Amino acid sequence: MSRQFSLRAAAVPESLELIHQLLEDVWEGEPGIEPMDRIRFETALIEVASNIIEHSQPAGTDPVRFVLAVECEPERLYAEFTDNAKPAGIDLAAAGLPEDMSGSGRGLALAKVALDQFSYAKEDGGNRWTLLCRRKSAANATH
């Protein structure tokens, strides 16, 4: 059985707290999720949200807004961000951790490492980010 959670918000730093609150609702609603799966999924969600908030440019006169949809299934955690910003022009294949000790440029690379599947697509009217984390508890149940 699948449980779904969602959030609509402005692409502003204060929205990160709303995402944390949404994830608390997810963890309360799905108490069987392994701690490592929570950490991986939450890290990726926050890094992608931070990227949207920090780097998105309005496509027109409307401020940038995003919709976050989270779905919990017994075998996976899935999230999708959509926004109304200009196309981000991201190449996730090229996203890697910087070699120096810089404090920026790590977000999408961390999300990529934390997730089992991570994709970005330009769409009419914005961007779509999809995140998938296979649950460890589901993998252990099959072995």
Exposure string of 37-66, with b = 16+ CB inside 10 Å and e = fewer, is: bbebbbbbbbbbbbbbbeebeeeeeeebbb
What DSSP character marks residue 12?
Answer: S
Q: How does residue 143 score in pLDDT terms, banded at 50, 70 and 90?
A: very low
Task: Domain of residue 86: give its range.
Answer: 3-141
Supply the CATH number for residue 71's domain: 3.30.565.10
* Separation of alpha carbons 48 and 129, rounded Å: 8
Count of domains in the chain?
1
Dihedrals phi, psi of 13, to nearest 5 degrees: -55, -35
Which range has the worst mean pLDDT, 33-37, 109-113, 129-133? 109-113
28: β partners: none
* pTM recorded for the entire structure: 0.85
